[in-house]
Structure formats: C-alpha cells, structure tokens
C-alpha cells in the first residue's frame, strides 16, 4: 500500500503533458528559440552603454537600465525565434543546429511565428512606454535588418557578414539612447567596437563549421580557392583596427591610463591571435581566436566602466 501511494504521489508531481510533451519541455524549447547565449551579450552591452552614458547611480537609474534591458531582450528574442523559423530547413542540414526545436519538430512553425511576433511587439511597446521612443525605433530597425537583410543574404553572398554586423552592433546604441535620448560620439565608439569585433569572432566560427555551412547552403565564406584569404583578412584587419578605436575614450579624456594600457594589451593579443589564425587557418587556431573574442569585449567594457573619467 505504501509503495502504491508513493508511486501515485510521484506521478501526480510530474509536469502535466501537453500533446505527449511536458510543460517544462515546452518552456525549454521556447527558451531555446530565443538564443539565450546571444541575448546574454546583448544584455551586457545594453547595460554597459547605459551606465557609461548616464554616469550616475540611483534607484531610478537602475530601474531605467533594467527596463532598457528587458525591452531589448524581448525584441532580440523575438527576432531570434523568427530567424530560426526562417532557417529551419537549412538548420536541419547542419550538425551544429540540427537539434534545434523547430528542426526536431518539437515546436510547430505556427507556434514559433506567433511566439516570435508576439514577444517582438511586446518588447517594442515596452521600450516605447517604459524607456523612450528612440530606443524603440533602433530596436525595431535592428530586428528588421537582421531578419530581412542579413538572414536571406547568408545564402547569397559572403558579404552577409558585413550586413549582419550592422544590426549586430546596435545594442550599445539602444542602451545609450535609453539613457540620454540621443546618440553622440560615445555611443558610436561603442557601436564601432562591437561592429569590428564581430568579424574575427564570426570568422572563427565560420571556419570551424565551414563544412556545416557548406552543407546547409550558407555562403558565409567564398569558394575554396578564396576562403582562406577571405577569412584571414576579415579576421585580422578588424581586430587590428580595434586597437586605435578602443583608445578614442582615452584620447577624449573619457577614460584613464589604466584603461588605455589594458585595452592596448588586450587589443594586441587579440590582433595577434587573428593574424595567427589567418596564417595557419586551422580549427585549433580558430578556436583560440573564438575564445579570445569572448574574453576581449566584456573585458574592454569592464575596464571602460571602472576607469572612466
């Protein structure tokens, strides 16, 4: 009798099934549609740019920054879900994306469409009502450019990386606009840093998964005779340009010497790894460049926050 009671209790505590699937599984699948690993970077850059623009701390400031992050994350999550919907047939051909919820049939296309559109609209309205109109406009244009310019161009031309970097760098603009209602030099410096950073970061990914991309029909790299040179130049040149651009806050006396020294060291190391990747064009070199890119950007932003003038 005790054994049966225990079994009944454990069964009652299980999540209720929905069409043969559990509530927790459904939530996890919807969460995966939002690409949370990308949204983490977006949230960080919105917060950092907001704090750099406002340069003051109060409960109202923290609440305003929180609202900016929430609205932006809703919009970016909606765009991510719609992007996966648009690319589901191509994702099915790649090992890296072959187990995404839409590909596996765990989420219906109609559900993904409604989910993506709904949370995008919620995010835009949230920004407009709780932050300001300019941050909403930037977020909306970013989403549209990502979905209707970058996404289709991935199957047409390697220049998709350049196009994709435009909306991909917009989160600092949203944070800055949320804090000040305007976009000045500081906002565009942060935008430029994120814009340039994306090239070595994505070239490392594109090289590591080049066979996957080829199999899916994505033309993120040119033909075999040019792809090594293309990847090398698109990684090394932007990485090198990050060094002088990152010094603009110090030159403008908006950051101190500690920031300048730190960003030079970080930039030099990042550029060296990008050059090394271009020279060797191996998966280990690409992996090291990718790891460096993940460490570089948040470290530069933290230095800028800690040593701002």
Domain limits of the chain? Answer: 22-183, 185-309
Q: Are 180 and 53 in contact (CB under 8 A)?
A: yes
Write the burial class of residue 149 (CB in 10 Å: 0-12 exposed, 13-18 middle, 19+ buried): middle
Alpha helices, DSSP H, located in the chain: 2-13, 23-33, 36-54, 59-86, 88-91, 101-104, 109-130, 133-145, 151-153, 160-168, 171-180, 185-208, 210-216, 227-246, 248-251, 257-280, 283-306
Q: Are 238 and 197 in contact (CB under 8 A)?
A: yes
- Highest mean pLDDT, choosing among 13-22, 63-72, 216-225: 63-72
Q: What percent of the chain has pLDDT over 70?
A: 93
pLDDT band at 21 (very low <50, low <70, confident <90, very high): low
Give yes or no for residue 127 having a pLDDT over 70.
yes
Residue with structure tokens 């296309």?
A: 109
What length is written for the chain? 309
Residue 108: predicted pLDDT: 95
Q: What is the mean pLDDT of residues 53-59?
A: 79
For the domain made up of 22-183, give the CATH fold.
Answer: Tetracycline Repressor; domain 2 (1.10.357)
Tens of pLDDT, residues 69-95:
999 999 999 999 999 999 999 999 998
Query: Pick from 209, 71, 49: which is nearest to 140 by CA?
Result: 71
Residue 149: predicted pLDDT: 97
pLDDT band at 196 (very low <50, low <70, confident <90, very high): very high
CA 84 – CA 99 distance, rounded (Å): 12
Q: Are 27 and 101 in contact (CB under 8 A)?
A: no
Question: What value does the mean pLDDT of the chain take?
Answer: 91
Give yes or no for residue 234 having a pLDDT over 80.
yes
Residue 2: predicted pLDDT: 39
CA 266 – CA 299 distance, rounded (Å): 8
Tens of pLDDT, residues 176-191:
999 999 999 999 999 9
Residue 43: predicted pLDDT: 92
């Amino acid at each position: 009798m005790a054994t049966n009671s225990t079994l009944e209790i454990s069964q009652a505590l299980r999540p209720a099934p929905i069409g043969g699937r559990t509530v927790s599984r459904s939530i996890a699948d919807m969460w995966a549609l939002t690409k949370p690993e990308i949204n983490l970077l977006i949230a960080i850059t919105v917060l950092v740019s907001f704090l750099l623009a406002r340069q003051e701390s109060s409960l109202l400031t923290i609440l305003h920054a929180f609202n900016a992050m929430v609205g932006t994350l809703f919009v970016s999550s909606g765009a991510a879900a719609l992007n996966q919907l648009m690319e589901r047939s191509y994702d099915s051909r790649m090992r890296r994306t072959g187990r995404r919820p839409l590909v596996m049939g765990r989420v219906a296309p109609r559900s993904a469409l409604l989910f993506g559109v709904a949370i995008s609209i919620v995010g835009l309205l949230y920004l407009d009502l709780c932050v300001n109109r300019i941050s909403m406009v930037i977020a909306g244009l970013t989403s549209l450019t990502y979905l209707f310019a970058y996404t289709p161009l991935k199957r047409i031309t390697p220049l998709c990386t350049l196009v994709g970097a435009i909306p991909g760098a917009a989160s600092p603009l949203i944070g800055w606009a949320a804090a000040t209602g305007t976009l000045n030099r500081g906002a565009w410096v942060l935008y430029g840093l994120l814009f340039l950073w994306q090239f070595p970061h994505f070239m490392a990914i594109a090289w590591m998964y080049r066979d996957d991309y080829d199999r899916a029909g994505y033309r993120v790299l040119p033909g075999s005779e040019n792809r090594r040179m293309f990847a090398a130049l698109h990684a090394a040149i932007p990485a090198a340009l990050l060094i002088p651009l990152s010094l603009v806050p110090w030159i403008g006396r908006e950051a101190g010497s500690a920031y300048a020294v730190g960003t030079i060291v970080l930039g030099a190391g990042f550029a060296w790894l990008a050059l090394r990747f271009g020279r060797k064009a191996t998966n280990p070199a690409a992996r090291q460049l990718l790891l460096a890119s993940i460490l570089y950007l948040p470290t530069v932003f933290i230095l800028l926050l800690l040593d701002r003038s």
